Amino acid sequence: MKELAQKISEIAARARTEEDLKMGVEPLIRERLGVQDGIEVQPEYEKQTGFRGRRDAVYGHLTIEYKKPGELAGEDNINRAAKQLARYLEKASDDATEEALKRVAGVCIDGKLIFFLRYWPAELTHARPLRVKRQLSLFNAEKAEGGFQLLGPYPVTSESLEELFRYLSALRRRPLSPEPLAEEFGPGSQPAQALVGAFYQALTSTDSGLVKALFNQWEYTFGVVYGEETVRAEKDVPELARGYGLPKEAGLRYALFAVHTYFALIMKLIAAEVLSLQQGSFAPSLIGQLPAMGPVELKSQMAELEDGGVFRT
């Protein structure tokens, strides 16, 4: 993704108009979707809206608007571009009901900066995703009382482009229900094997006195709760190792501690998101912003989550 970000930066440096930028970037997007994500798309270009406007590029329910390089540098320009994109999305949703608006999203890019626009339902408008500076009201308030939330703008980097492709990949989004969750995050899944393996490696090689103390505390509680059952569980270690990408000779307690840590993290993320959706909550949406963060900011937000900051808020 770094290479793609560099290519877009080079295109922006040469481009004189938004059309130059679009003609340079669109083939890169289509190539990336087809080669790496395996998504076959037929985007529509310059698609007419109902109020004498044309959407630059339309990928199903996602609209991408291009601006002249550098045009998103000013606050007024950002507001103007966001309002224009919000109008496009409202018209694109046909009846502009909340159910229809929930399915659309927008992206605006000038080659240097990029922002995302998504609809926030009326019952959730009190919840503010991180970095959201403004909420754009719909122009037909009788049909829907929510608004579009602006996320960004962010510099065009590998992280913000990953977020763009998550929006594009959502064209084949799966339902949020127990079976897909288990398939996405359970034993054998890529996240489970990558994260549990990383946690296990970090745990077994750490020099941190705090980590060791926490593990010993957990180990004592684990022994009290499960007692002699842990002896019988030793025979399940090979299956546990296969499911989570651990060494065949993995120690049972180290492995289970890593697995518990992994699922605790997932539950914290889900709990934080659910909390942000509650009436009267001042907690922002965390999950919506994590994918676009760089390593330093991501680490800071994870530390804040572990410290309970979002829950105290």
- pTM (global) more than 0.85: no
> Residue 260: pLDDT above 80?
yes
User: How far apart are the C-alpha atoms of 199 and 257, rounded to whole Å?
Assistant: 9
Instruction: Tell me what pLDDT residue 148 has.
Output: 81
Average pLDDT over residues 22-37: 80
> Residue 129: pLDDT above 50?
no
Helix (H, G, I), strand (E, B) or coil at 184: helix
Written as one letter, the residue type at 111 is G
Least Cα distance to 15 among 5, 7, 24 occurs for 24
Residue 264 banded pLDDT, cuts 50, 70, 90: very high
Strands 135-137 and 147-155: antiparallel
What digits encode the pLDDT tens for the residues 181-204? 888 899 999 999 999 999 999 999
Q: Where does residue 259 rank: exposed (0-12), middle (13-18), buried (19+ CB within 10 A)?
A: buried
Across all residues in the chain, what is the average pLDDT? 80
Instruction: Tell me what pLDDT residue 22 has.
Output: 92
Give, as one character, the DSSP assignment of residue 267.
H
Written as one letter, the residue type at 156 is V
DSSP-assigned beta bridge partners for residue 113: 155
Residue 200, C-beta contacts closer than 8 angstroms, at least 6 positions apart: 244, 246, 247, 250, 254, 255, 258
What digits encode the pLDDT tens for the residues 290-313? 777 888 988 998 998 889 887 887
Instruction: Tell me what pLDDT residue 122 has.
Output: 57
CB 11, CB 24: distance < 8 Å: yes
Instruction: Tell me what pLDDT residue 152 has.
Output: 85
Render 103-121 in DSSP notation, one character per residue: T-EEEEE-SSEEEEEEEE-
Provide the phi-psi class of 188: left if phi over 0, else alpha when psi is between -120 and 50, else beta.
left
Give, as one character, the DSSP assignment of residue 48.
E
What digits encode the pLDDT tens for the residues 82-119? 988 888 887 766 555 666 677 788 999 999 999 998 87
